[in-house]
Chains A and B, each alone.
Chain A
Amino acid sequence: MAPELPSQGEPVTPARAGARLALEGLGRQYDGRWVLENLDLEIESGSFVSFLGPSGAGKSTLLRIVAGLEKPSAGTVGLQGEGPQPPMVRMMFQEDRMLPWRSVEDNVLLGVKGRRDEARALLEAVGLGDRGGAWPAELSGGQRQRVALARALLHHPELLLLDEPFGALDAITRIAMQQLLERLWLEQPRTVLLVTHDVEEALVLSDRVLVLADGSVGRDLRIDLPRGERRGHPRLVAWKEELLQGLLAPHSTAPADV
């Protein structure tokens, strides 16, 4: 467990706890087509890593395999927590997946016995302290997604998987959610993997941005800008431009390949 130092300048993030992830030769095929192929990847504990890539690049598949919701066709997933037992992994989905028949608070308590006070504190932390007794149907989409975040956090996951969690939200709510997520991550150490289509979201939130293309990692970018100064920073804008160009390129050449 060597303390990790950011590559450059002042600490981007403090030394952090969380699960360490190692993928070796990971592959997944559907009907003979390899969505992920021979993927090797190491993710440091406590880091915030985002996955970008065109639709069908295998981002969500990768996340579902790490979550144990799908079996890989080849290779191994190595997960190491802080203790001897396998680390707690929780996933937050693109849809909020609220149980409509449970109050907001009881939704947060899904799969957890007792700890009602902690659930309330988490609702407070996501800004919904007064809505614990409401039904999910009474909340807006952004509020429901915040409940889903609180629900995932109640399990103290050492690895938090986020599958386009803010994809269905409007622009303003999305930025508010990003800030909330960053704040909670800074307060509570854990490894986070985020799948997103939003290049800026990835750049603003992550220590590391990985671009998946054709089943493997095409680009591995370390973001060493200080958090809080990232939005609108010239280097971030340049990266964004570069990544967008890269994401657009395969699409424009694809028809020529066929």
Chain B
Amino acid sequence: MSEPLLKGISMPEQLLLAKDPQPHSGPSGRPGAGKDRGTGSPSAARNRRVLLRAARTAGPWVVPVLVLVVWQWTAAVGILPPSILPAPEAVWRAGADLAATGELQFHILTSLRRILQGFALGAATGLILGFLVGMSKVTEILLDRSLQMVRTIPHLALVPLMIAWFGIGEEPKILLVALGTFFPIYLNTVTGIRGVDPKLLQLGRSYGLGRWRLVRDIAVPGAMPTILSGIRYSLGVAWMTLVIAETISASDGIGYLAQNARELLRTDQIVLAIVLYALAGLLADLLTRLIERRVLRWHPNYRPRANQ
């Protein structure tokens, strides 16, 4: 009878104890690590830990580097003809040549500007409409059904229409990117706000928060994890949309670079464009991860494991 009671008492304390005393545990927080520390000398244990940490940092890069080496080697030996896939070194040279004339920077900046403009437009409208629909029954009844109907249209299906309307101007690209980013952000904002714990909203109301402060202090932060995952997803959609828009109709930008290179049979430049898109996507993902870590630092799931 007394045993489960005792267990119940000690559990939270145990949890607290387990968390607090070693904030720098990092990789050594594994089951086996404690044993090693007991038997080996302190310096040996430290060496081990340094090695482990180095392996953690370097480990993920082993496969990409290996791929690069094999790729370079097969191209150099002649197994891989340059017309199919040029060597990494050739891609690098193509990039350096284009950078020397300033062309590369120009195309990258053009694409970046389009992403920023389109994303800003789509994210802003998505957030505003998402909040309106999530917070108020009236706007939900008025807007949600219509938006859900529009959502069933794949936004890329609008490419021909956009070109018919705007030609190869800036508008179709920015609008397409905006459309692609709008829906993930809108949907996640609505879901996020609906998912906010009603008990917390009740608490806020009974502690004298007005409507505006309820939104700012409870609804927005409560919906934030969902909204941020919507933003991360929509950034991926944004780049994908831009690739297609720029490949089909543009006179500048990374997509144009690839398209132009195809006409000139410059596979090295095509691969360069692909690499650039990949880097851009990676950067966007890193950026949102950084933002998540900062904004959601209260959330146990987003806290960095080692204290750095």
Give chain A's interface residues, CB within 8 Å of chain B: 67-69, 90-91, 93, 95, 97, 99-102, 110-111, 135-138, 140-142, 151, 155, 170-173
Contact = CB atoms under 8 A, between A and B. Distances in A.
A137 B302 CA distance: 12
Given A91-B206, A111-B213, 5 more contacts: A90-B206, A101-B222, A102-B217, A111-B208, A137-B300
Interface stretch (B9-17, B176-184, B230-238): B9-17
Interface residues on chain B, size class: 20 to 34
B162 interface: no
A68 B15 contact: no
B206 A110 contact: no
A110 B199 contact: no
7 contacts: A101-B299, A110-B209, A110-B217, A140-B12, A140-B13, A140-B15, A170-B5
Contacts of B200: 97, 99
Contact of A93 (B199, B204, B218, B224): B199
Nearest to B220: A101
Interface of B: 5, 8-9, 12-13, 15-16, 19, 199-200, 202-204, 206-209, 213, 217-218, 221-222, 224, 296, 298-300
A93 B217 CA distance: 19
A133 to B, nearest CB: 12
B9 A67 contact: no
B300 A67 contact: no
Q: Is the interface of B mostly helix, strand, loop or mixed?
A: helix
Contacts of A91: 206
Most A CB contacts (10 A, CB to CB) among B13, B19, B206 go to B206
Given A68-B206, A90-B207, A99-B218, A171 B224 contact: no
A219 to B, nearest CB: 29
A25 B222 CA distance: 40
A231 B221 CA distance: 44
B224 A110 contact: no
Given A135-B298, A138-B19, A171 B5 contact: yes
B8 A100 contact: no
Contact of B203 (A93, A141, A171, A173): A93
A172 B206 contact: no
B9 A101 contact: no
Contacts of A171: 5, 9
Contacts of B209: 110-111
Contacts of A111: 204, 207-209, 213
Given A69-B202, A101-B221, A137-B298, A110 B207 contact: yes
